[in-house]
Chains A and B, each alone.
Chain A
């Protein structure tokens, strides 16, 4: 069986997915992904030239709402669910780096 996903690629994927996996966990997931990806190459047998990708099952277009203010949530209720809330805002530890 050829290797479909390298350990380095899997580590990169875990970082993109924000999953802090222990080395043993990462190794196990990598080998499982590898087996799956291998199986998934069955579709390489299909001739898919000229076939439009299908993203949604039911074709709708222009589903729009009027620009009318609706109900808002009670911030006390919402912030009570937050792991950390300070001054009516959600608290997080320091953020490394600016948003893209």
Chain B
């Protein structure tokens, strides 16, 4: 059985046929508010246990919730960024007993979520549906004593309610993902969006972004969805991909062995690289949802929504599109995605607009600017640098060195002056041709191999030219001259 892991062409070749993967992700994000969803207790990660608590957080008898305006604002931002409709909404109580939930019910949006029917576009251009995004409160945190910190074998648990009541938005994606790569891409893109709209710090490691994956498989050509399993404990984007891949193969093996997939919640174990049954959905709780009588309906209204929309920053997708247009490349080009992810697209676009060479600007932004201080680089300096390159005054290697000095110097130096100070002057063409001919004469053996078609032999020839010029020669130009000689020039 082979996995063909080529993006959305991820198919599983089983013994009895070819299988397709169907994944939908549910993502919980903690909102970057100052206070909790329903009270003024601080929303702050990493504080001493049970210090960010007030009567509402602890669900003390007589306490009542009041909705945080900023949490609503951030939920609207997320909704708009995910192309959702923002609608009048209500809060329900989801009733179940669990010690880290102070009221033994969770206040959550149920049949009337604030955001619905949107989509997220992956950098590859594929649009993944978003069913809804809704507000709800987080639970406290249990630490299990003994049993290696796991629930099983534990002698008891200790509960810290600092996290209880922290505002969450749960983003429910439609089952439109078809490969582990797409799932990873979805999460990365979602994280980029959340950071762009400043709704969350979206750290999977700290739990401020938590991803559950609903995974099922079906035979290629089938239109019905298979029985799905929900995978939990995915603490990184890497785990997400591994877990989905493992789970897909597990389900195919199961079905091909004549068994059936049970709808259940499974736990990803990073250590053994497998998923394990956590809870069967068949004995699912009955949550007895009903409208939360202590809260009133929420209807942000057009004015509020439009004010949020007007203040929205450019989203990653829009930034990719802007950069691709400026650079004259495909929006799906990996360089575009990388530059936007690094936040260097503003610089790149400005440098291109300032007359820089689009191709060279993109190359520098993609490869040579993943350093501290890069964003302070003056666009005109980057533009000037690329003009020196295309004008033949600097080789690629020299340009990179000048760029490094530009950045360490604070970003607003003059590239020509730096190049001059470093003693970089481009060799003129005839001098380079002479050096190439000297190298051919000096290394007859290598030249003979190169003539016979051994491309690798060119390396020795280029190397000796570079050595003779102390690295000032442009490697590409040397190769071009060698090719010309071989062709009979």
Contacts and interface: CB of A to CB of B under 8 A. Distances in A.
B151 interface: yes
B160 A89 contact: yes
A7 interface: no
A77 to B, nearest CB: 11
Interface in B43-57: 48-55
The majority secondary structure among interface residues of chain A is: loop
B34 A97 contact: no
A62 B88 CA distance: 10
Given A72-B41, A94-B154, A99 B291 contact: no
A91 B158 contact: yes
A86 B50 CA distance: 12
A70 interface: yes
Interface stretch (B76-84, B117-125, B296-304, B418-426): B296-304
A10 to B, nearest CB: 14
Interface residues of B, number: 60
B48 A60 contact: no
A64 B69 contact: yes
B54 A100 contact: no
Contacts, number: 138
Contacts of A90: 50, 99, 158-159, 161
Interface string A69-91: 11111010011000000111111
A39 B102 CA distance: 35
The majority secondary structure among interface residues of chain B is: loop
A94 B261 CA distance: 30
A66 interface: yes
B296 A75 contact: no
A42 interface: no
B279 A55 contact: no
A90 B141 CA distance: 10
A98 interface: yes
A91 B49 CA distance: 13
A99 B159 contact: no
B35 A69 contact: yes
Interface of A: 16, 18, 55-56, 60-73, 75, 78-79, 86-100
Interface of B: 33-35, 39-42, 48-55, 58, 66-72, 96-101, 139, 142-144, 151, 154-161, 232, 265, 267, 278-279, 285-288, 291, 293, 295-301
10 contacts: A16-B288, A55-B291, A65-B67, A66-B70, A67-B70, A72-B42, A75-B49, A88-B160, A93-B157, A97-B151
Q: What are the 5 tightest A-B residue pairs by CB atom distance, in nearest-first order?
A: A70-B40, A67-B70, A89-B158, A64-B69, A60-B296
